[in-house]
Amino acid sequence: MVDLIINNIREITRSRDFSRKIVFNIIMGLLFMIMALNFLLLGYMLDEVVRDVYGKDAGVINTVSGWLLYYLLIDIIMRINFQQLKSASGKPYMIMNVPRSRIVALILMKVPLNSLNVFPALILLPFFFKSVLPVYGILSSVSWLLSVCCLLLMNNYLVNYLKTRFIKNPVVTGIFIAAVFIIYILERIGMISIQDVGAVLFGNMIQQSYLLPLYILLPAVTIFVNYSFIRSNFHLDSFAHGGFMSKAGTGVGAFEKFGLTGWLMNNEIKMMMRNKRTRISLYMPALFVFYGLLFYSDSRYLNGGATEEYFMFFIGLFITGFFSMASANVTYSYEGNFFGYMLTKNYEIEDFLRAKYYLILSICSITWLISFFYYFVHPRIVLINTAAFFFVVGFAPFFMMFISTFNKQKLNLSLDSFSLQGKGPSQFMAVFALLLLVAVIFVPVRYFSDSSGITFSVLGALGLAGIALHNNIISLLAKLFQSRKYIMSEGFRNS
């Protein structure tokens, strides 16, 4: 096991990116240190924060224990988005004389090595030494701290299992995420109290240290489940298309009726289904349909002013158009590994872009229709989501395609679903620029018209104009592509 760990360290230090991005890593390290100092200060002052919010007589430990359960639920959602799978790191050892059990053990050993574990530790440790240990003694205090650490560790391996399972069967992961949202909704409508449950879970450890073995058992069980699942599915053919038991997509039969455009749309769906990194783009829009449930239970957003209206439009963009922003943002990066082949195919780039656009329009239309259930929350939400839908299919795709023409980083489709490889600042800035552009349109129209209806109508009309003129816009994007295709090709070869 030690030799495998040493080999992994050498893999990192000898990689091309380690020396090429050393300046970037130094800058990020400095920013990390600044953030770490802020979190340390927050942990040290946490008891005073509790007293300021709840009064001087508030029970600090019970209050913080209640907050911890909130954090653990949020932590699961954050990890699903940002925690990377480590399964691919075992691939090079599969053709060597290394027992499978050691490879899986190495993978599981690397799971907790992520920055999401650093920040809670920076808050908990100062709070523990200042507010817990001096009051409750060593045994009770250490039991409380270990119980929190055990549940954080359980989150690491639980999310690793959910994401690994998602590649093979997304239903289990989807049910679990839906359950987290249901818990949140039940808490918002007052049926349960997450803070009270958290106070019981962690607060009792102060008086009942003998319960600690139960908390230690939780991460142990999740580690065993991960080990069993990965070991039973860990074969070379699991990596044939970049994931465990990947199945080749067959496309949509109805698209075949649309000639070359339909054939290209089916090719796009097959590519997404065969690679786990792209497959997530087909599943995430269905989850984001329920994104509004996090906010719409608060009447402040439904009856607020201009700021709340903009925020509701922002939510509507993600509910109806997540696929639009995620897919159009990497229009050419998906083809980066075979960009030269794409240039020599016997179809025009307009056909390729048109197929991309029609696929975006089709999937966003489905999520928009599903979002009609928000009518039962408030009819106004449906109108806002409709304006957001027209904007996100009539303006956003072309804006993202324009930005993607200047991207020269290819995406390695064999990596895990949540890998950040190939996603440079341009992709993140494109989404930010789109939201900023919405604000640039929204603010003056809202100010001079003093009407939310007119504001949403203007944004929706802008999208409708884009839909009506999509062939002309695609022709302009094709001309831009022709002027940059060799620059892009060179960039994809070198990335």
Q: pLDDT per residue over 192-240, tens digit each? A: 777 777 777 776 667 777 778 888 999 999 999 988 888 887 765 554 4
C-beta separation of 237 from 175 below 8 A: no
Identify the DSSP state of 193: -
* Of the residues 239, 264, 282, the one at which a domain ends: 239
Taking all residues of the chain, what is their mean pLDDT, rounded to a whole number?
79
481: in domain: yes
- Residue 408 reports pLDDT greater than 70: yes
Is there a single domain that holds both residue 303 and residue 230? Answer: no
- How many domains is the chain partitioned into structurally? 2
pLDDT exceeds 60 at position 243 = no
Output 419 or 42, whichever has higher pLDDT: 42
Q: Assess whether 31 and 152 both reside in one domain.
A: yes
Residue 280 maps to a domain = yes
Averaged over 112-116, what is the pLDDT? 81
Q: How many CB atoms lie within 10 A of CB 148?
A: 22
If asked whether residues 208 and 140 sit together in one domain, one would say yes
> What pLDDT, on the 0 to 100 scale, is given for residue 245?
37
Are 273 and 229 found together in one domain? no
Read off the DSSP letter of residue 338: G
Q: How confident is the model at residue 278 (pLDDT cuts 50, 70, 90)?
A: confident
- 330 φ/ψ angles, rounded to the nearest 5 degrees: -125, 45
Is the CB of residue 215 less than 8 Å from the CB of residue 153?
no
State the amino acid at position 356 in one-letter form: K
More confident residue, 242 or 195: 195
pLDDT at position 191 over 90: no
Cβ count near 251 (within 10 Å): 17
**What is the C-alpha separation between 277 and 93, in angstroms, rounded?**
22
Same domain, 196 and 287: no
- As a whole number of angstroms, the distance between CA 223 and CA 226 comes to 5
**pLDDT (0 to 100) of residue 135:** 83
Instruction: State whether 41 and 101 are in the same domain.
Output: yes
pLDDT score recorded for residue 246:
40
At residue 254, the pLDDT reads 62
Cα–Cα distances (Å) from 197 to 59, 146, 190, 354, in that order, read: 15, 18, 13, 52
| 77 and 191 housed in the same domain | yes
Say which residue, 80 or 134, is predicted with more confidence: 134
Q: Of 224-238, 303-317, 350-364, 398-412, where does the model show the most confidence?
A: 350-364
- Average pLDDT score over residue span 341-355: 81
* Residue 245 within any structural domain of the chain: no
Rounded to whole angstroms, the Cα distance separating 388 from 438 reads: 10
Confidence at 419, pLDDT banded by 50, 70, 90: low
- Find the domain containing 192 and state its range: 2-239
Q: Report in angstroms the alpha-carbon separations of 172 from 14, 45, 159, 178.
A: 38, 40, 12, 10
Please choose, from the candidates 340, 254, 292, 307, the residue with its C-alpha nearest in 3D space to the C-alpha of residue 439: 307
In a domain, 309, yes or no: yes
247 in any annotated domain: no
Residue 67 corresponds to which tokens in the numbers above? Answer: 């907050």
User: Which residue do the tokens 């786990």 mark?
Assistant: 276
Q: How far apart are CA 341 and CA 477, in angstroms?
A: 20
| Residue 411 φ then ψ, to 5° | -100, 130
303 plus 447 within the same structural domain: yes
What are 125-154's pLDDT values in tens digits?
998 898 888 888 888 888 888 888 998 999
Are 385 and 326 within one domain? yes
Q: Are 408 and 492 in contact (CB under 8 A)?
A: yes
Are 305 and 203 found together in one domain?
no
CA–CA gap between residue 57 and residue 224 (Å, rounded): 43
Domain endpoint, select from 190, 208, 239:
239
Do both 222 and 305 map to the same domain? no
| Tokens, residue 131 | 């507010």
Q: Averaged over 268-286, what is the pLDDT?
A: 75
Angle at 111 between CA 7 and CA 180, to 5 degrees: 165
Could you tell me if 344 and 441 lie in one domain?
yes
CA dihedral for 461, 265, 489, 493, sign (positive or negative): positive
CB 204 within 8 A of CB 70: no
Residue 256 has pLDDT above 70, yes or no: no
Answer yes or no: is 248 within a domain. no
Residue 444, in any domain of the structure: yes
Based on its alpha-carbon atoms, the radius of gyration of the chain, rounded to whole angstroms, reads 25
User: Does any domain span residue 244?
Assistant: no
pLDDT of residue 240: 43
Report pLDDT for 168. 65
More confident position, 16 or 95: 95
Give me the pLDDT at residue 407, please: 79
Residue-level pLDDT at 465? 93
Categorize the per-residue pLDDT at 242 as very low, low, confident or very high, splitting at 50, 70 and 90: very low
Residue 61: band (very low, low, confident or very high) from pLDDT cuts 50, 70, 90: confident
